[in-house]
């Protein structure tokens, strides 16, 4: 599959939002999300199938992402990056990402928090 043009452009919030709008016109894959908690830590594990094009949520806080499995192209504030597991990526607040999974991917967001209620976490972090 050829990457959409957005993946070869200079990144902008507007271009990622346009991609997200376009993706909503296609059948949506069911989210494969797993939530993990430890004292002071919330981890959101997302399993992404090969060939998926996706956009991320805009987070309020700085946090870490772990690419635990796979190969993914990610449009970041630093441009296009092709990441292969294992790898750790730091996210700044307010970043809107887009990605293309070349293989099956396991992406984990790690957030410092004591909250365990998923609805409150979404409100607090997104």
Q: What is the pLDDT of residue 73?
A: 95
| Residues contacting residue 6 through CB under 8 Å, at least 6 positions apart | 15, 16, 18, 19, 75, 98
Q: What is the pLDDT of residue 76?
A: 74
Q: What is the pLDDT of residue 112?
A: 95
Q: What is the pLDDT of residue 96?
A: 86
Q: Give the number of residues written for the chain.
A: 126
| Residues contacting residue 9 through CB under 8 Å, at least 6 positions apart | 15
Q: What is the pLDDT of residue 121?
A: 94
Secondary structure (3-state) at 8: helix
Q: What is the pLDDT of residue 88?
A: 96
CA distance 92 to 85: 20
| Residues contacting residue 56 through CB under 8 Å, at least 6 positions apart | 95, 96, 97, 98, 99
Q: What is the pLDDT of residue 78?
A: 74
CA distance 116 to 43: 10
- Residue 17: φ, ψ to 5°: -65, -40
Mean pLDDT by 10 residues, the chain (126 residues): 57 80 90 96 97 91 96 85 95 90 98 95 92
């Amino acid at each position: 599959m050829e990457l959409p043009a957005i993946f070869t452009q200079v990144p902008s919030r507007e271009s990622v939002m346009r991609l997200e709008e376009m993706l909503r016109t296609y059948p949506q894959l069911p989210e494969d999300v797993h939530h993990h908690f430890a004292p002071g830590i919330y981890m959101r594990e997302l399993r992404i199938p090969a060939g998926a094009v996706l956009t991320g949520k805009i987070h309020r806080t700085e946090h870490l992402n772990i690419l635990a499995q796979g190969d993914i192209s990610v449009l970041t504030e630093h441009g296009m990056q092709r990441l292969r597991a294992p790898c750790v990526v730091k996210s700044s607040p307010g970043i809107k990402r887009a990605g293309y999974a070349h293989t099956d991917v396991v992406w984990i967001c790690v957030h410092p928090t004591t909250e365990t209620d998923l609805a409150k976490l979404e409100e607090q972090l997104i």
